Amino acid sequence: MEDIFLIVGLGNPGAEYAQTRHNAGFLLVEKLAGKWKAGWSNERKFVSRVAKAEHNGKKFLLCEPQTFMNLSGESVGALVSFYQLPLVKILVAVDDADLPLGEIRLRKSGSSGGHHGLESIEQHLASREFARLRIGIGRKDSSRQIANYVLGKFEKSESGLLEKVLERAADQVETWSGAGIEKAMSQFNGVVDSLNEEK
């Protein structure tokens, strides 16, 4: 069994979904791939785009399931099975409409919170015991009918804050893999602008 960390970013494939709020997970793994200078390839057996990287002496698989959000578990289950990955080495990044844009929240485990991508992964792994990093995308009102909102693109006025969020979340992933989840949660969870910028 190789010592590999799997970072899964959730989203929907296709140009029409690029840069949408629901694809915040894709944006994060793309940020990490750029930071770690990792190239993407299409892996048909995993129904995923996958990038292999090394950082601080550790190996990483970055994954963008290409199944569409609600079937993300098919890709994640296939990768976990193939690489024989323990759940403690898996982190899933998702958008969260119940958190405001600018806030991130890493947890060791937990419920899907109604997120269909997480539900699919929990089903395929038969467990909720994997880390999930929620990236706040906010919502304009309290309605549960938010499909149009989450499938909408980030506004230009949000781009600066979004970039800060992705940088902060990328740092949190690096801390999670290096110093552990407790340190990553205590150091980075919360609202980006109010966090101490010192590392």
- Catalytic sites, residue numbers: 22
3-state secondary structure at position 136: strand
- Sign, CA dihedral 102-107-113-117, equals positive
8 Å CB contact between 170 and 35:
yes
The one-character DSSP state at 140 is S
At a CB cut-off of 8 Å and minimum separation 6, what does 99 contact? Answer: 105, 134, 135, 136, 137, 138
183: tokens are 């340190």
Q: 62: which strand partners?
A: 7, 51
| Among candidate residues 158, 164, 161, 183, the one with its CA nearest the CA of residue 172 | 183
User: How far is Cα 85 from Cα 182, in angstroms, rounded to an integer?
Assistant: 20
